[in-house]
């Protein structure tokens, strides 16, 4: 089942305690697409400028990402420069230039409108609603958001949430949106705004899944070293949505397994800068880490039943 993702593609300059990388391929649509394509076909909708490198176009096509919805406009590609603290859950934005992304207003292709799965990455709620209005009858619509939109376009965001099935956001954003200090209360409050499922990303502490029937907690996969957290949330979303599309249905067991696969994908991308770790990843490596993750978290795993 195909997935359409609408989001940003840009060039990132990132500084962490492990080094610095300049003008590396980034953006929500990039991280999502490369992760999701391990599970299902992906069609990307985004905009880039005249400075976008042909090698980066080839990076997507070599990985079977459909780029017919990648629009080239006059001007420069979106750019972001960030510096992470020693605690990598915190970062400072040093420079942000929307460039051609500032006027991004996509028109989906006919077959994209008929897609079963839609992921609305971190773009304005009004643009998310505009894209959603073009869809024919999607099975699953998921969306991401951030504190900027919660603070500046709250009414439009809440209106959009009534139309989506799944919302992903981080813990601070969940509290801000729900106007609750307690994360569990926040998750439950957001469910009442419309989404059937709310995924709260908690960085190194894992993910909380809220549904009307239950709550499910998954830790982050333990790593000795995190090089670059940029794009981890979008990579998680790619693995999560990819597994749902591959399954062809949405149920509580599928959602829970999708969260684990999303967490596995997120654990890979932070091991190197930019998309470098995902570029040489294989399905065998993903599956091996998934099995290790399950063994790590399941006290009833068959390995321990005979003990």
Q: Which tens digits make up the pLDDT trace of 78-98?
A: 999 999 998 887 889 999 999
What percentage of the chain carries pLDDT values higher than 70?
97
DSSP one-letter code for 53: -
The pLDDT tens digits for 254-267 are: 999 999 999 999 99
Residue 213 has what pLDDT?
Answer: 84
Q: Which residue has the tokens 């749902």?
A: 244
Q: How confident is the model at residue 300 (pLDDT cuts 50, 70, 90)?
A: low
Q: How confident is the model at residue 306 (pLDDT cuts 50, 70, 90)?
A: very low
Q: Where are the alpha helices (DSSP H) in the chain?
A: 28-36, 54-61, 110-113, 125-133, 147-152, 154-161, 171-178, 183-191, 232-247, 252-269, 276-279, 283-297, 302-305
* Mean predicted confidence (pLDDT) in 144-152: 91
Q: Kindly state the tokens that stand for 221.
A: 């996969």
* Mean predicted confidence (pLDDT) in 117-121: 97
pLDDT value at 157 more than 90: yes
* Mean predicted confidence (pLDDT) in 147-158: 93
Write down the CATH number for the domain with range 3-299: 3.40.1190.20
CA angle 286–300–255, rounded 5-degree value: 50
Residue 297 has what pLDDT?
Answer: 80
pLDDT value at 302 more than 70: no
What integer best gives the mean pLDDT of the chain? 93
pLDDT value at 148 more than 90: no
Q: Kindly state the tokens that stand for 228.
A: 């670059």
The pLDDT tens digits for 213-249 are: 889 999 999 998 999 999 999 999 999 999 999 999 8
* Mean predicted confidence (pLDDT) in 156-173: 95
What percentage of the chain carries pLDDT values higher than 90?
87
* Mean predicted confidence (pLDDT) in 11-38: 96
This prediction has a pTM of 0.94
Cα separation, 143 vs 140, whole angstroms = 10
Residue 304 has what pLDDT?
Answer: 46
Cα separation, 275 vs 149, whole angstroms = 26
Residue 88 has what pLDDT?
Answer: 84
Q: Are 243 and 257 in contact (CB under 8 A)?
A: yes
Residue 97 has what pLDDT?
Answer: 93
Q: How confident is the model at residue 44 (pLDDT cuts 50, 70, 90)?
A: very high
* Mean predicted confidence (pLDDT) in 23-32: 97
Residue 301 has what pLDDT?
Answer: 55
Delimit the domains of the chain by residue range: 3-299
Query: In terms of residues, how long is the chain?
Result: 307
Chain centroid offset of residue 213 CA: 24
CA angle 207–144–146, rounded 5-degree value: 90
Q: Are 40 and 242 in contact (CB under 8 A)?
A: yes
pLDDT value at 110 more than 90: yes
Give the CA count within 13 Å in the CB-facing half-sphere of 274.
21
């Amino acid at each position: 089942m195909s997935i359409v993702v609408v989001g940003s593609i840009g060039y990132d300059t990132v500084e962490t305690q492990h080094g610095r990388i300049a003008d590396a391929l980034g953006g929500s649509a990039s991280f999502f697409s490369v992760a999701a394509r391990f599970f299902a076909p992906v069609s990307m909708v985004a905009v880039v400028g005249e400075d976008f490198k042909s090698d980066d176009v080839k990076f997507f096509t070599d990985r079977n990402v459909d780029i017919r919805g990648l629009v080239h406009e006059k001007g420069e590609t979106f750019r972001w420069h960030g510096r992470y603290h020693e605690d990598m859950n915190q970062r400072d934005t040093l420079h942000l230039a929307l460039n051609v992304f500032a006027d991004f207003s996509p028109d989906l292709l006919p077959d994209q409108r008929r897609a079963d799965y839609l992921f609305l990455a971190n773009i304005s709620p009004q643009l998310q609603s505009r894209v959603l209005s073009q869809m024919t009858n999607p099975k699953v619509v998921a969306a991401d958001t951030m504190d900027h939109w919660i603070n500046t376009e709250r009414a439009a965001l809440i209106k959009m949430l009534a139309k989506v099935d799944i919302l992903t956001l981080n813990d601070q954003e969940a509290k801000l949106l729900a106007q609750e200090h307690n994360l569990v209360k926040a998750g439950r409050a957001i469910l009442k705004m419309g989404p059937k499922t709310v995924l709260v990303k908690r960085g190194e502490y894992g993910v909380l899944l809220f549904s009307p029937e239950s709550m499910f907690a998954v830790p982050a996969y333990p790593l000795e070293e995190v090089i670059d957290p940029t794009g981890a949330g979008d990579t998680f979303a790619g693995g999560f949505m990819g597994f749902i599309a591959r399954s062809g249905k949405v149920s509580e067991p599928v959602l829970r397994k999708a969260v684990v696969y999303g967490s596995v994908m997120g654990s890979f991308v932070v091991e190197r800068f930019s998309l470098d770790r995902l570029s040489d990843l294989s399905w065998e490596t993903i599956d091996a880490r998934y099995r290790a993750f399950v063994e790590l978290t399941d006290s009833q795993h068959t390995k321990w039943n005979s003990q």
